A = this chain, B = another copy of it.
Amino acid sequence: MKRPLILATNDDGIFAPGIKALVEVARELGDVIVVAPDSPQSGMGHAITISDPLRLKKVNPFNGIEAYECTGTPVDCVKLANSVLLKDRTVDLCISGINHGSNSSINIIYSGTMSAAMEASLVGIRSIGFSLLDYKIDANFENGKPFIKEIINYVLQNGIPKANLLNVNIPDLPTEDIKGIKVCRQADAMWVEEYTESKDPRNEKYYWLTGKFVNRDQGEDTDVWALKNGYISVVPSMHDLTKHEAIPGLKELEKV
């Protein structure tokens, strides 16, 4: 059987430890090509580069795996990979991450990791974004590896029925303490901002983003619940942002 072709990317940059761990797992399951940002791009959401040129440079941080650093955003990486580097090949799977920090619940919309995966899913490539609930630079990406391998293998074998994108978050626990995998919905949580206000050396005021994560969703079928209870959360995701159930009630707007 032909080995599957796997495109790997991330938002923490091509030299981040998370993508190294992800590529180590993926190379056991298929042929991997990496196209990732040349610098950290956290919080870039679905940003794309319109007004500037983009560059690709071949690099070798993955011990023989074909890899390119890109000057753009995570979404740019996926677009360039598909349109330029892989235009004559069929990509079987796109994987993004492993992100430093949670992309559960509302974090998905701010996440470069998940936006890159979504971009691939849009053009029909099955995609999985992986995140570890540890922001620290020395986060332990080893613990989740056995589960990541199972999930990638499952999707390569079975696809993602009725969806094309998975948002996978991994609790920061030793492998033996991870209770298993839960398939969930995205919790309805939000960030409450608390900008710190200060003055720069020229006495000009500035603000710096901080904030508190508030889960207003008490459901036990959510990603936030699963993670809090020691499970890996898997949320099938999509790009249709229509609130379908609101359409009928708005029809009178057509009469104004």
- Chain A residues in contact with chain B, CB under 8 A? 40, 42-51, 53-56, 75-76, 79-80, 82-84, 106, 108-110, 115, 118, 122-123, 150-151, 154, 160-163, 165, 167, 180-186, 188, 190, 192-195, 197-198, 200, 204-209, 234-247, 249-251, 253-254, 256
Contact among B207, B234, B239 with A56 in the assembled complex (CB-CB below 8 Å): B207
Once A49-B209, A53-B207, A254-B182 are accepted as A-B contacts, the answer to whether A238 and B249 lie under 8 Å apart by CB is no
Is B45's CB under 8 angstroms from A115's CB?
yes
Cross-chain contact A154 with B195 (CB below 8 angstroms): no
Contact of B236 with A84 in the complex, beta carbons under 8 Å: no
Residues of chain B lying within 8 A (CB to CB) of residue A109: 46, 115, 118, 239, 241
In the complex, the chain B residue whose C-beta lies closest to that of A124 is: B190
- Which residues from B are CB-within-8-Å of A237? 241-243
Interface of A is mostly: mixed
Taking CB atoms, residues of chain B closer than 8 Å to A51 are: 40, 42
Cα distance A25–B119 in the bound complex, in angstroms: 36
Q: Which of B75, B82, B84, B195 contacts A197 (CB 8 A)?
A: B84
Decide yes or no: A250 and B234 within 8 Å by CB, A185-B244, A194-B83 being known contacts: yes
**Cα A245 to Cα B239 with chains together (Å):** 14
Known: A207-B84, A236-B247. A46 touches B150 (CB 8 A): no
Q: A43-B48, A45-B44 are in contact. Are A208 and B53 (CB under 8 A)?
A: yes
Question: Could you list 15 further interchain pairs (A-B, Cβ under 8 angstroms) beyond the known A40-B51, A161-B249?
Answer: A43-B50, A46-B46, A53-B206, A54-B207, A55-B204, A56-B205, A79-B195, A79-B209, A82-B193, A106-B122, A151-B256, A154-B253, A161-B246, A185-B244, A236-B243
